[in-house]
Amino acid sequence: MHFLIRIFSLLPLSVLYLMADAIIYPLMYYVVRYRLKVVRKNMRNSFPEKSQSELKQIEKQFYHHFADLLVEVVYGYRVGEEEMRERVVFENVDLVEDLASKTHGVIAYLGHMGNWEWLVDLNKRFVNPSMVEYNVYRQLKNPKSDAMMLELRSKRGGECIEKNQLLRKLVLLRHAEHPFVVGMLADQKPSKRSSYVWTEFLHQETAFLDGSEVLAKKFGFSAVYAHIWSTKRGYYRVRFELIADDPSTMQPEEMTNRYAELLEKNICAQPEQWLWTHNRWKWGRTELEG
């Protein structure tokens, strides 16, 4: 599989998009119907104000985007630095660098929006040469797939941290000389063993992992949200929005609630760009706390 991905990564992105349109999209949507029931349930509950035809349109747009995302990840194995700068534009990296100069570390809340995998290019955009980007990831069960994704996420110069090693790494980084930012995908579904808070999100009572907030307050790191949107096919912009410059001044759960609000606005602006296949609301309060 790794060999095939490397071979396909040599193809022009225009050819990969043709494959996405002609093969991957119809296969996922019409043949396999990949998690279609979950997607429809999530969209119906998230947008009760939308008509059935509107939801159908978003549904198809999402599966087209999902097919694009798969080939973009493949293409990411060989895309050059100059092209990546054109495809992913960071509007205000200076905000992250300024915050890191004050609090040493910055927690960047991410969502599964747009092509979040290409955000690892942030490490190439810093003005301060000592600034480092770290990305928290969840280890995949398949060792070969895990190694493949680690290679992709590390090739732009950032460092990956397995989520179970994050606390230990942050203890070490607290005494490091270089400033840094830690990217955390915080819209995952909590497990029954996780620490989480409840908030209203997309018209539903939703449990959000609060690990990012806990760590920011523990270490005194500032926090931002990475607002991602697509300007056209294969092109994305990222704008960092402040969540907390001084976490110690924030009320309990305030940072997590702020993240949920920003993520919801991001989704509502381009709903087809979020990863609706996640069974985000699998467990309600009764299942999680029962």
Residue 186 lies in a domain: yes
Residue 139 lies in a domain: yes
pLDDT band (50, 70, 90) for residue 6: confident
Same-domain check for residues 51 and 170: no
Residue 80 lies in a domain: no
Q: Is 43 helix (H, G, I), strand (E, B) or coil?
A: helix
Which pLDDT score is estimated for 83? 94
- Number of structural domains in the chain: 2
For residue 1, pLDDT beyond 70: no
Same-domain check for residues 106 and 132: yes
Cα separation, 288 vs 216, whole angstroms: 25
pLDDT band (50, 70, 90) for residue 177: confident
As a whole number, the mean pLDDT across the chain is 92
Same-domain check for residues 133 and 174: yes
Same-domain check for residues 54 and 112: no
Same-domain check for residues 174 and 224: yes
> What integer is the mean pLDDT of 152-174?
85
Q: Report H helices in 179-226.
A: 211-219
pLDDT tens sequence across 107-158: 999 999 999 999 988 988 999 999 999 999 888 777 777 777 777 777 766 7
Question: Pick from 11, 40, 75: which residue ends a domain?
Answer: 75
Of 30-44, 192-206, 253-267, the least confident: 192-206
> What integer is the mean pLDDT of 45-49?
97
Residue 22 lies in a domain: yes
Q: What share of the chain is helix, strand, coil (3-state, %, to 5)?
A: 50, 20, 30
Same-domain check for residues 158 and 62: no
Which pLDDT score is estimated for 98? 97
Same-domain check for residues 93 and 71: no
For residue 165, pLDDT beyond 80: yes
Buried b (16+ CB within 10 A) or exposed e, 188-201: bbbeeeeebbbbeb
Which pLDDT score is estimated for 184? 95
Residue 81 lies in a domain: no
Q: How many CB atoms lie within 10 A of CB 48?
A: 10
For residue 78, pLDDT beyond 80: yes
Structural domain for 208, as ranges: 88-289
Residue 78: left if φ>0, alpha if ψ -120 to 50, beta else—which one?
Answer: alpha
Same-domain check for residues 52 and 164: no
Same-domain check for residues 37 and 140: no
For residue 232, pLDDT beyond 70: yes
Same-domain check for residues 182 and 39: no
Longest dimension (CA), the chain: 55
For residue 210, pLDDT beyond 90: yes
Same-domain check for residues 195 and 248: yes
Same-domain check for residues 281 and 150: yes
pLDDT band (50, 70, 90) for residue 290: low
Residue 83 lies in a domain: no
Residue 250 lies in a domain: yes
Residue 244 lies in a domain: yes
Question: Pick from 50, 75, 100: which residue ends a domain?
Answer: 75
Question: Pick from 75, 105, 124: which residue ends a domain?
Answer: 75
Cα separation, 36 vs 96, whole angstroms: 38
Which pLDDT score is estimated for 256? 97
For residue 65, pLDDT beyond 80: yes
Closest CA to 97 of 255, 278, 256, 240: 240
pLDDT tens sequence across 248-287: 999 999 999 999 999 999 999 999 999 999 999 988 887 7
